[in-house]
Amino acid sequence: MILNQRSQTTADQGNDSPGWERDLINKLALASLKEQRRARRWGIFFKLAFLAYLLLIPVLYLPVDISAPHSAENHTALVEIQGVIVENSDAGADQVISGLRAAFEDENTKGVVMRINSPGGSPVQAGYIFDEIIRLRDKYPDIPLYAVITDICASGGYYVAAAADRIYADESSLVGSIGVLINSFGFVDAMEKIGIERRLHTAGKHKGLLDPFSPEKPEEVSHLQSVLDELHQQFVHVVKQGRGDRLQGGEEELFNGLIWSGKQAMGLGLVDALGSSGYVAREVIGAEEIVDFTWKRDYLERLTERLGAAMAGALSVRFGLESPNLR
């Protein structure tokens, strides 16, 4: 009887052993799974924190005040034209005109300063800006508009400046370049030397105009020159319209494409006087406070642009693609 009881106890212990091991394995598996989930959550947290850090960097460099410019006092309105005057750029017609309209429409604007630092650009975009300035001056005859040249105001930049009531510059500014150009290259002789034949098929006798791999045709050169001459005469007409009898010197001297220093340009009547935007606001307009009406990209556009530039810079450094710097 005792022997049978011991045998039964041993059998029961043997039957319980596999269940105990399974429980232990399940507990270990659950603990490991929880640890993996915890590690994954921390990984996601750190990734989000790093992303927030990347987003915060460009935000720190953005202006704190992103609202529309406003001043309760009489002020000088500033509109800047920086860079090449081409469509969809900060110096494009739509952008510049937007700033000019806002400046003239503000009831506390006593005068407008158009600060220009541009080597030129599209004659179409410059023409749009010129025409709008003339319209705004007619609509708001009591608000003067002055162009102030900083480093350079050449070609299309001067096209725009000519619409102002007066033009100011620094004595070292570069002014002028009243002309039109189209440039290209010719590879015909080089191709002949290395035995390359150009095969160009067109529908339209002159569709290959300006093709650098084909010989120039005299009639095409003549036609192209007529187009340039027409654009040049439009430019000359605009400058004469804006500057009038203030111009000193003959057409051959003024409109030959040369540039001059600000001091030289003043002697030719292309500039009225020397002075900065601060000088014009204080001494000419009589409203020392300057309010910037220059068109700016909205907050998200600037954030995206800065973030993209920051990431591109980081990648270029990471992969050794950075450009050499001249110091």
The CA distance from 243 to 165, in Å, is: 9
In a domain, 171, yes or no: yes
Residue 82 identity: Q
In a domain, 324, yes or no: no
In a domain, 326, yes or no: no
- What CATH number is given to the structural domain containing 192? 3.90.226.10
195 and 48 both lie in a single domain: no
Domain final position from 32, 66, 100: 66
Residues 6+ apart with CB under 8 A from 15: none
11 and 88 both lie in a single domain: no
8 and 40 both lie in a single domain: yes
What pLDDT was estimated at residue 199?
87
Phi–psi pair at 78, nearest 5 degrees: -115, 130
Phi–psi pair at 156, nearest 5 degrees: -60, -30
97 and 216 both lie in a single domain: yes
**Host domain of residue 26:** 1-66
Residue 94 identity: D
3 and 139 both lie in a single domain: no
Residue pair 98/296 in contact by the 8 Å Cβ criterion: no
134 and 233 both lie in a single domain: yes
User: DSSP code of 208?
Assistant: T
Of 118, 122, 155, 173, the catalytic one is 155
29 and 177 both lie in a single domain: no
Query: How many domains does the chain contain in total?
Result: 2
155 catalytic residue (yes or no): yes
Output the pTM of the full model.
0.71
219 and 97 both lie in a single domain: yes
Whether the CA torsion 87, 88, 91, 94 is positive or negative: it is positive
Residue 120 identity: G
Low-confidence ranges of the chain (pLDDT < 70): 1-18, 54-72, 298-327
In a domain, 320, yes or no: no
Q: Read off the pLDDT of residues 254-265 as tens digits, 9 standing for 90 and up.
A: 999 999 999 999
What Å distances lie between residue 9 and 19, 224, 265, CA to CA? Answer: 16, 112, 115
Residue pair 169/280 in contact by the 8 Å Cβ criterion: no
124 and 204 both lie in a single domain: yes
- Look up residue 16 and give its two tokens: 């319980």
Q: For residue 322, how many other CB atoms are within 10 A of its CB?
A: 11
Domain final position from 66, 88, 119: 66
What pLDDT was estimated at residue 320?
45
Domain final position from 45, 66, 87: 66
What pLDDT was estimated at residue 42?
74
In a domain, 314, yes or no: no
31 and 107 both lie in a single domain: no
Q: Is 76 helix (H, G, I), strand (E, B) or coil?
A: strand
The CA distance from 244 to 263, in Å, is: 19
Dihedral angle, C-alpha 247, 164, 143, 280, nearest 10 °: -80
